[in-house]
Amino acid sequence: TSIIIETVAVGLVGSVIGTVLGYLSTIYFVEIFAERYAAFLAPEHVVFRFAPFYFGLSVALGCLISMFAVIIPARKILNVETGRLLQEYLEETEKEKWKPRLIWMMFILGSIKIIEMILDISIVEAMLMQEGYLESIVLSLFLTVLFIIDLALIVLGPLFFVYSLSKLVTHYALKLQKLYSMVMKPLLGELSDIAVKSLSRKTLRTSKIIFLIAITLTFGMGLSIFSASLTKLTVKTIEAGVGADIKACFIDVANETQLVENISSIEGVKGVAASKSISANIDMSDELTRLFIIDENYFNVSFIENNYLKGISIEKAYDMLRSGEDYCIINQRLSKRYGYRVGDQITITIETKEKQITINLTIIGIAKVLPGIEYEMQEYTLRHVHYGYWENLVVIGYKCAEKHFNPQEIWKTYLFIDLAEGTNSTEVVKKLEKEYDNIYSIVSFDTMFQQTLRQSLTPLLVPKFFYIEFVFILIIAVLGLALITMMSVLERRREIGLLSVRGMSKRQITKIFLGEAVLVFLISSIISILSGFSIVYGLLSLSASMVLGEVFPVKVFFTVPFELYILFIISFIFFIMALTIPVQYLARKKTAEILRVHD
């Protein structure tokens, strides 16, 4: 009864403190990251409406967690014989049975899901795509069950992998003793064997510590990398939509060359590239294709990158389109749909004012993304902008177009404007709007970026919440890990006393525990890197396909932020401190005091 009362009291206090801190932090973060709505809808009112429900839920969960944390070990102690409990020294035992089948099954399932995440595939989904499985009821039910299991493994797979691998590396520690000793010998010298034996003697305790460290690093790594990568993916998407620092559409331009020169002379403008587009048809399809005529300077002023092109570099594309030969670049959709490859011939037909023109072109490259071109800016006022994209796209140079027809007959001219570092794009946009009354539409990268930041639930807002969650998880996990590690060392006070009896100095004892800690952290880090990177890669692939679909078919931007290195350093420092401080404290005591059970 006393234990139950104590645990309920602890759960109540913890849940109340957590609820109050959560309430205050929610108001703070809402006002920062959703200021657009906080301006007219006070977050206190919204939070207050949900507070009773979450307060009750927090209290219930707090009590349950505290009861599980205390009652389960208390019941185990009550099962021990009274005579043994009254002994001066009760030898530490590990009663958890080794269950190889369960552990290996968890490892296999977790490994399969990890590999699927890395390769961005799903074996079950591939089986469901096969024809004929609906004809068999048994097969349909079997695949349905597999599909449900596969969905569950998206969440449980990484946990299975981390847990089972931490169990395996500790259970087979004796067989891996030579490998572990080899790793630790540069740090410990002759003491490496003692540290490894100490690690392998209590496999249950060691596996729990490895699992806790690995799971902390896994989710810390996952949140930080996913946050940074999703932000970069969003930025790249905006770059692909705008095309350059500024993209402007002019109508009825009398002298395009003079317009480019005038804009190039504006302070802060580094370069300008012109572009025009016209409807066309290709020889293999009746579908409408868009023919873009670009100034070769586009490759210098736009946001295009080498990985956006296949079969050709940016420099070579610049030179070949500048030559005036009948060369073209097509988009990836056109290539996939009709099987076009680099070096193939493609025939396009366009309608001008005078006649129908057919042009035979040689494909010199395939574009995954053509910033500002494949994404067609559709702006009907200077305040509202949205983007569409062309299914089939062919790009040629100005000199090539001039051989076959007069591009100046096209009434729309797109200009891509590159600005010098530190130039205020908003001021340049205002100047252009003031000087030219034939601007049909104009947008800058900075404007689109700021608009995205101000919108609710945007891909740029979500990473910020992930980052906040990452910080909270890191603090809680590191503190919890430090406490568990300290308790683990204090439980080993008799072991420290016996090492002292054997004649080892305080420095040698600390060195053994330090080496054991480094080995545990090294194993945990390797496990967390394998699981963390696969989780992030899977999440990024899923996010890219759900949010962007086929609109932005570039490989997921995998970004490792600086915060991740801080995570590893902080976790390592706290772990070492939590282990060495109690060792130092116990090693300073006299051997008799250490071995004494009752102080």
Per-residue pLDDT reduced to its tens digit, 307-357: 888 889 999 999 999 999 999 999 888 888 888 999 999 999 988 777 888
Structure tokens at 240: 């692909």
Predicted local confidence at residue 480, as pLDDT: 65
Asked whether residue 16 falls in the same domain as residue 102, the answer is no
What are the b/e assignments for 582-597, b being 16+ CB within 10 Å? Answer: bbeebbeeeeeebbee
Q: 107 in a domain, yes or no? A: yes
Asked whether residue 389 falls in the same domain as residue 283, the answer is yes
Residue 516 near residue 199, CB atoms below 8 Å: yes
Mean pLDDT for the stretch of residues 99-116: 86
Q: 451 in a domain, yes or no? A: no
Asked whether residue 253 falls in the same domain as residue 396, the answer is yes
Asked whether residue 250 falls in the same domain as residue 352, the answer is yes
Largest CA distance in the chain: 108
Give the pLDDT band (50/70/90) at residue 397.
Answer: very high
Residue matched to tokens 């706290």: 574
Q: 447 in a domain, yes or no? A: no
* Percentage of residues of the chain with pLDDT beyond 70: 65
Asked whether residue 113 falls in the same domain as residue 99, the answer is yes
The pTM of the full predicted model, rounded to 2 decimals, is 0.67
With CA atoms as reference, report the closest residue to 161 among 203, 204, 104, 208.
104
CA distances (Å), origin 378, targets 116, 241, 399, 440:
39, 11, 27, 10
Predicted local confidence at residue 550, as pLDDT: 44
Q: 449 in a domain, yes or no? A: no
Q: 438 in a domain, yes or no? A: no
| Listed range (306-310, 406-410, 488-492) with the worst mean pLDDT | 488-492
CA distances (Å), origin 28, targets 15, 195, 387, 485:
20, 47, 34, 33
Given 64, 79, 94, the domain boundary residue is: 79
Give the structural domain span for 399: 246-422
Predicted local confidence at residue 57, as pLDDT: 67
Asked whether residue 303 falls in the same domain as residue 376, the answer is yes
Compute the CA torsion angle 153, 529, 198, 72 (nearest 10 deg).
Answer: -40
Asked whether residue 485 falls in the same domain as residue 535, the answer is yes
With CA atoms as reference, report the closest residue to 370 among 305, 297, 293.
305
CA dihedral over 356, 359, 360, 361, signed as positive or negative: negative
Given 79, 107, 125, the domain boundary residue is: 79
pLDDT at 494 over 60: yes
527-538 pLDDT, tens per residue? Answer: 888 888 887 777
Q: 317 in a domain, yes or no? A: yes
Q: 477 in a domain, yes or no? A: yes
Distance CA 347, CA 336 (A): 17
Asked whether residue 403 falls in the same domain as residue 254, the answer is yes
Q: What is the SS3 assignment for 255?
A: coil
pLDDT at 260 over 70: yes
Asked whether residue 48 falls in the same domain as residue 137, the answer is no
DSSP output for 532-561: HHHHHHHHHHHHIIIIITTSS-S-------
pLDDT at 172 over 90: no
Given 79, 103, 136, the domain boundary residue is: 79
Pairing type for strands 288-294 and 393-397 reads parallel
Q: 556 in a domain, yes or no? A: yes
Asked whether residue 260 falls in the same domain as residue 371, the answer is yes
Asked whether residue 85 falls in the same domain as residue 229, the answer is yes
Provide the 10 A C-beta neighbour count for residue 48: 12
More confident residue, 597 or 283: 283
Asked whether residue 373 falls in the same domain as residue 398, the answer is yes
How many structural domains comprise the chain? 3
